Structure 1
């Protein structure tokens, strides 16, 4: 089965839920769900787009949606006092 067909359920910080294919860009997944993730450099160096996915901090501009064993991801927006 191709990885694109593996669907992942995402629970967003505002309580919204969505589904997207494994490997989709985090910023695209959030846009499709109507959730805003702040961005800065879009190259992974500034950290403005950091999100916490199942307890692990990732930079949304350079990361893709993984396929967890449970099929469910919980996203929290990381908070940085400088942004």
Structure 2
């Protein structure tokens, strides 16, 4: 089962497999998510997921087996 992943604010949508790395999906879609440590410690890759209160670290997160679309809101942290 594929999940449609939408990246905001650019409205880029790509099909992904549940369990696939969010960074891999973003790269395939031509979307840049800034990274730092790639271990979730520095929080440089934080993104907001529609319907969730807390941001997640894209470097250690995967696309869940969820109803499409899975909406990821990219934002820029001024410290990075």
Match of 1:40 in 2: 36
> Would you say 1:73 and 2:73 are equivalent positions?
no
Rounded Cα–Cα distance in structure 2 between residues aligned with 1:8 and 1:23: 10
Rounded Cα–Cα distance in structure 1 between residues aligned with 2:40 and 2:75: 14
Residue 43 of structure 1 aligns to a residue in which SS? coil
Return the match for 2:3 from 4, 8, 15.
Answer: 8
Aligned pair count reads 77
Rounded Cα–Cα distance in structure 2 between residues aligned with 1:55 and 1:35: 21
Q: Please, what TM-score do these two structures have when normalized by structure 2?
A: 0.87
Match of 2:79 in 1: 82
Larger radius of gyration: 1
**Unpaired segments of 5 or more residues in structure 2?**
none
- Using the TM superposition, name which of 21-30 and 53-62 deviates more: 53-62
- Using the TM superposition, name which of 6-15 and 22-31 deviates more: 6-15
